[in-house]
Amino acid sequence: MAGTVVSNGVVAGQTAGVAFAQHSDARRSRQSAAASASYLPSARRCGTASKPFLSGSSLLLPQSNLISAEKRKNNAVQKGETTCGLLDFVGRDLLRFDTGKWYEDVEQNGAMAMYMPLEGGPEGRYVLKLKDEGYHILNLNARGLGDPEAYLMKVHGVRPAHFGKEPIATFYMPPEVDFRLSLLHPDSKGLVLWLTDGKVLSRAELQYLTLIPVLRPKVRVVVEMGGARQVEWYPLKEIVGMPPPDATILPGEKKTQV
């Protein structure tokens, strides 16, 4: 092909080679674009707006424009465009007006287990709610806590490291909960024991934490048990599998059927 010459004197092989190279480059570009598109979802979205009045384009619009705005948003999703709503910028947990319900559950159950987003931040709203109600917060980490009963409710010994230069000695510390209660103001409502990393505690240790509000009526217990997409809380008794009070049967007794 390279030796073939047309009547006008132009080498046909050179022209064909340039055209073939351009065609190959265009084909490779189309193949790479198709391969990259196969790994992408059909619709990229920052989040899902479950309510029309919280979507970004339909905020503060009349009711007649809500349907058209939602239709435009659906069309954008089908085309693969990125759509964002108000909840994607503010945060879903910050818009939850549930601190009142949270406080009622804490007062009713005494000991609560919490699950919250791992990035942190939302728990501050619930701590502030307890502070506004008159509680003092005692923040402790469950890692290295040792025996919760001895550390929180009894006089316990502490033996610091001596590094080989000091005599081995044991110091005795007052119970943490009782000591904090004695320092509270008379007008204070009580003490909230807030434990982080509660997942490292055993079932027996968690069961004892549920008894602290019974032994000390002015004490409430909150244990962070793990992470979740949104803030969730449950009575600690349900998490550790303790039976309800009416299901407790003393030894030698028989359960009467009503």
- Maximal C-alpha separation, the chain: 116
Report all structural domains of the chain as residue ranges with CATH numbers, in order of start. 44-90 (no CATH), 94-246 (3.40.50)
Nearest residue to 46 (alpha-carbon basis) of 81, 84, 2: 84
Both structure tokens of 197? 């990393």
- pLDDT digits over 79-102, tens only? 666 666 665 566 555 566 888 999
Q: What CA–CA distance (Å, rounded) separates 128 from 162?
A: 40
- pLDDT digits over 98-150, tens only? 889 999 999 999 999 999 888 878 888 899 999 999 999 999 999 988 899 99
Query: For the chain, which residues score pLDDT lower than 70?
Result: 1-24, 27-96, 243-258
Give all strands (DSSP E) within 66-178, no chain letters.
111-116, 135-141, 156-158, 171-173
Q: What CA–CA distance (Å, rounded) separates 48 from 225?
A: 28
Q: What is the predicted pLDDT for the residue at 144? A: 83
Q: How many CA atoms lie within 13 A of 163 on its CB side?
A: 1
Nearest residue to 45 (alpha-carbon basis) of 15, 73, 3, 17: 73
Q: pTM of the prediction?
A: 0.59
Q: Among all chains, which residue has been given the structure tokens 């030796």?
A: 3
Both structure tokens of 124? 């501050």
